[in-house]
Chains A and B, each alone.
Chain A
Amino acid sequence: MEEVNKYKNQGVEKVSFDVTNLTYIASSGIRVVIFAKQKLGGNPEIEFINCSDEIYSVFEMTGIQNYINFVKK
């Protein structure tokens, strides 16, 4: 979250998370996405690259999957 905070109000248009090697996510990960969307300013696009089905299921459970652009690379 500190990392995201550094870019506050700097006109960030897109935040991209490469989660190719991520096997696991907890609520702290969900909070980072909410935080990025709310605090960066300018309603940036949120992108997840190579998100696993299990991690997607956590986004789905918390109802934020519709605010994320999921891409495979």
Chain B
Amino acid sequence: MKKLHFQPVKGKGPEITEAIIAEEEITSCKKEFFALHLVIEELAVNIADYAYPDGGDGYLDVLIDKTPETITITFKDGGTPFNPLERKMPDVDLPLEERGIGGLGIFLTVKKMDEVKYDYCNNENVLTIMKKISNE
């Protein structure tokens, strides 16, 4: 298990994303890399931009656990309680002209991962994503 620590500041999401996807556990998932990159950016940007609306000394801990079959990444922050899975998912069957632009990030996260879980405990948002790895 690897643990990374960040200070989530508004606008720093892409920087946090780059640091996470540079880890060997992620780069070694060749086939899953595109999906992991996408999902990590969605979550890191959300946390950086919205978890601590008043700024201050926030934190984001990222835990990466890789087994031969799966990769599991956990995002923990002590910011505003927020369950992204309760967000209204976008209606992807609506004509483009009538679409909203909210909820696309979490929608793609759920689509791209094999498991997405949210929990709030010990004053922390705990979001866990899991993807099965193809071994070829």
Contacts and interface: CB of A to CB of B under 8 A. Distances in A.
A58 B38 contact: yes
Given A38-B97, A64-B96, A27 B105 contact: yes
B118 to A, nearest CB: 18
Max chain A C-beta neighbours (<10 A), residue from B38, B92, B99, B105:
B99
Q: Interface residue tally of chain B, by bracket?
A: 10 to 19
Contacts of A63: 92-93
Interface of B: 34, 37-38, 41-42, 45, 90, 92-93, 96-97, 99, 101, 104-105, 107-108, 111
A contact face: mostly helix, strand, loop, or mixed: helix
A51 B39 CA distance: 20
Interface residues of A, number: 20
B38 A34 contact: no
A31 B93 CA distance: 16
